[in-house]
Structure 1
Amino acid sequence: MPIREFAGSPMPEGDSPIDPDIRQSWYRSTLAGLNPGSQIVIDRLVEMNLGSRLMRAATPILEGLENQLHDSNFGLLLADNEGYILHRTFGTRQLAAASDRLGVVVGAQFTEQTSGTNAISTPIETRRGVFVLGEQHFLECLRDQICFGLPIFQLGTRRLEGVINIMGPGRESPSLMKPVLTSAVREIQQRLLNTYSDAQVALLLAFRAACESHRRMPVVAVEPSETFTNGAAATELQSSDLAVLKEFAAQRGVVFGDRVRMDLSVGQRTVLVERVSDQGAVFRVLRDEQSTLAVPRASVRYRTVGDQLTEMLIRARAASGHVLISGEPGSGRTTAAHSVTGDDFVQVIDAGEAVVSGAKKWAASLQSLAEQSRASLVVESVHLLDAPLLRVLSDAMEQTSTRVVLTSDTGIDSLAAAATHCRSVIELPTLRQRRPELASIMGAMLSDRGVKNVRFTPPALAALSAHDWPGNYKELQGVLDEVLAARSAGDVTLSDIPERYRTPGRRRNLGLLEQAEFDTIRKVLVQVMGNKVQAAGLLGISRSTLYSRMKALGLQ
């Protein structure tokens, strides 16, 4: 059946080449009272929140796509989960003008009831990616366009956050659209997840665990700025119930893990409560027949990269034997070394002094310190030692009863001999690997300075989280110095942070796979001191491929 004939009947008879999602969308559009000759109905334009979580996560990705769309025959739309257009961009002025005439503008709402089948409203209904090709649009005014729309989900809960849609004239190939949008959605979803604080991620993981074990039970997770609900909760509970649960979660002195009777809109129910953070909790709303249901009381806690590092340092401190701590400059090698040695009496010698005082004098100092039977000896920056001094260091480590803790840059092959004498080898994470923890890291730094009344606003945090942080924690300390010099209390806004950290660049748009690729290439380049021929050989790729990937990843 030609698609033009489909509008006349709610459901086509017999076999049809029409995609099932398109078929059902036309049926819904017909039930809504639309006909193919209708125009798009825009009752009013709503002022959109351009600082929303979705917009903050999507903005850097959209900026990259705008560059790709420039002078092309394509347009790009971003809508929220209710179909309101948040952002639009077009390759040409002609496309923008045509969209203005149709009412495809920021603040307009696109639903199947108002605009029929299209690549904004239909993905919201189906929760799947949808191609709408020319005549597959229900409204005739849209049939000179082909569109592809993909839903954007919250990664932990599969909650629909919005839709991104790329559109172009019917003569363009739709196959060109899918990989572009798929990559963009992947990036946006990851950035959405990265905007959550440690406490919110812990809440999210606890919520997922509760949903997996109790699929048919209403499950709600709340904390001051976030609420997660499963399908049963969304169907059975009202907003007033969620407010009751949020207020309960904020109470102090309440015993969590037990059953609590609560008056909800569905009646008095027994609710299982699981504390996740100071003001965050997961609630399982039981039906009467489930009142004896056994639920594990152990809280689910998100193990951050920082948690894993702390565990490694604690194990290294408790174990006997020498320790090698490696990391990029500014990653906290000295702090980690003193964390391993604890409160023991510590002697420190810096390998950099060998350049100043001479190899013989430095070797003699090392030997003397190693023979003093102190609790610990920290040897800083051992990657600066030449081969003869590394042999002296290895011999001293083999012969001494003193515990030796080495610090070094990453990826130094010449340290292999010294590393063989170490029982524990720890590679410190970079600050860019701990982006989700940035708020808590800065909080700890402020606390160490005795600063209590400074709070970074979400836009400022988002901008800082997008930075690459090549100088790691030392660089972050410098940013805090600049901020505190101008503001010692109150909210730190985007305008309060140094200007060079406010605007995201190409390097900040990397997804998980690209980030891993970036880190690997960078690590190898450091290892070979920037020699790209050697780096290409170690990576098993050609030099031209290495240059191409470095350029694509923004690695200079």
Structure 2
Amino acid sequence: MDFDAQALPDSAAIRAEIDRSWRRCQVIGVDRSARELPFTDDGIPDNRVLLAARPVLDRLSTQLQDAPVTILLADRDARIIDRWTGKHELLSQLDSATVAPGFQFAEEFAGTNGIGTALEERTPFRVKGEEHLLESLHRFACVGAPIVHPINRSVVGILDITCEIGDVNDLMAPLISAAVSDIEERLYGQSSRTERRLLREYAQVRRSSAKAVVAMSPDTVIATPVASSYLDYSDQAMLWDWASGIVPDRPSHTETLRLADGRDVEVTARRVSDAAEPLGVVMELRALTEPVAGSGHTAAPALALLTGPSRSGVERLPGRSLATRQLQSQLDGFAQQTGPVLITGEPGVGKARTAAYLTRLWGFADNLLTVAGSGLTAADLPRLRAQIDEGSALLITRIDEVPAEAAAEVRTLVIETNEAGSPLTATSSTELRGDDASGLSSHFLRRAYVSPLRHRTDEIDDLARVILTEHVSGPRAPRLQPATRKSLAAHHWPGNVRELASVLVSSLPKAMSSDIGLEHLPAEYRTITSGRELTSLEQTERETVIRVLNEAGGNKSIAAEQLGIARSTLYRKLRALGLEQGRFLS
């Protein structure tokens, strides 16, 4: 059914907020006749909200016990978690429309409604009768309002009052607003001493400083609008990791860091919590440089600490893992002199992009010829030599798939470009043992390895920024919400970066230019691991263990000896760092 056919009755004016919601639902493809909504009964994800709300709603339900209304409390995902008061007839009708605990009323499932749309709009929202998108909700009217945590300003739930159309009362909106204020006040009272002190210090610094201000604790991030314009989720994680390693040992510290958009900032961090309390830090940020040209918060550079631009002025590789930093350093070295370089790694890791990046470092960004090794013939080689002689750089992808009849000519080309220092790069998915079918890899004197994505999931944010920028026009590309990043980091990624790109691009239509949430991902990528995320130090240790195991051919005995630890200690580290036991030899 097209959007025009879904117009409201002539007697009703379409309010702007209703129109926005209907259009969102149209893009998502919500079925107006749907009667079955997602149902989960796996406990309450944030019992602090229910703990704060229950006394307020118990008191309110006593006051409304004879009124023809019911009060609904939903969580941050628009799932109804409890229901107060309501006459039997109303509750029966609500049950038949699945307006009951356990059912999820996010817009993508339930269309325009007082819970999901209030969450989407992040403001009180009223909807009546046929303003609801679902036909099953046309008999009801409701007012929903978001419950905002007073410390970190995140929406932690939705409070909704619902009745039949004929029982609508003008007092419903102010009644819900007053109840939400009471709940938020109780949430503040529940907050830890660290959180309350953090909020006070943040407010004080914000009043006295013209700089961008960020306050952080293990569960809280508060930022001024200026700071929010600087930072994305990966920047927040980087700042917290940096502050956690620096501030506990000193009252304050100042250092220059590089943000994901390539901007250099001077950060002054000060601890505001006692030594026995969870860490609370207030940071002031002062921009030293502008974002990298054309990045708009979407550029490739994303190193945890300031390491300077690449020598050629070309942007750095996306990613902040140890593996990517080592690869960047290796490519910077190769950039000093042209000559054949072989880029290896699993299918989909981005070998061709890495080879093209090295070509840009050499200064051949606008003059690169790319050919597929599997399609080369001996007759092609004279033409390729001529183009190199004329000033072009050459990239041969999948050189391990060069046909046997062309292998000798390609081998001669590699030897000649070695001697002449010509700009030749190639990619291969075989191991670096010189035993590919063509035998060509052994003739490359310089080689670089691109690690699989499963070994560097901490840079999914950085890669997503580049991928989404390439597929979204406009001043700002969508970002990954924290739950999305955590879910994607838990995936094994057999298809590597190519698979990540496919997942993100397929999520864009559902996200509709907003940041990509868990609900926008394909179902098989929505699994959240219950395990904790590794710290930066543990990530570095994990990468080191993987590298040594790979160098040892997967043999744990040799790897343990090279690491200088007992074999039993290596086994414990493999388990603690979440590495696959079956992937390496004993």
The TM tier, using the shorter chain, reads 0.3 to 0.5
TM-score under structure 1 normalisation? Answer: 0.45
TM-score under structure 2 normalisation? Answer: 0.43
